[in-house]
Amino acid sequence: MAINKLIPSDLDKMSQVSSDGSKDWIKVGLSSCGIAAGAQEVFDFFVEEVKKRNLQIEIKKCGCAGACYAEPLVEVSVEGLPAVIYGAVNKEVAIKILEKHVISKRLVNDSIFEILA
């Protein structure tokens, strides 16, 4: 079996396509430090709530961001707002992220860890 080499145009195509066609997404850090801090429960909660509320946003898993002290970390990208990383996310903060950031298009200022440029 041959492995094809990826070229820059292949990577460009891959970065433009998400699995469900949505431009909006939520990434939950599920490395060992995130899991120890409760990230699996946060991820499961997002998946359940997005399905229950029929929201058009993709929930993704990602690895370590290097800020173990702030776990669980959740990165949110919603069209029209800057991409934001929220820290110390629990179910209460996750509800705020869905209701304020995703639905109402307002940042959850008291939980922001970093705003990405």
CATH of the domain at 48: 3.40.30.10
Residue 34 placed within a domain: yes
Query: What are the b/e assignments for 63-100, b being 16+ CB within 10 Å?
Result: eebeeeebbbbbbbbbeeeeebbbbebeeebbebbbee
What is the C-alpha to C-alpha distance for residues 110 and 91, in angstroms, rounded to an integer? 15
Structural domain for 37, as ranges:
22-115
Give the chain's domain count: 1
Give me the tens of pLDDT residue by residue for the chain, a chain 117 residues long. Answer: 556 665 676 555 544 544 445 589 999 999 999 999 999 999 999 999 999 999 999 999 999 988 999 999 999 999 999 999 999 999 999 999 999 999 999 999 999 998 775
CB contact at 8 A, 71 and 41: no
Domain-embedded: residue 79: yes
Can you give the pTM of this predicted structure? 0.80
Structural domain contains residue 8: no
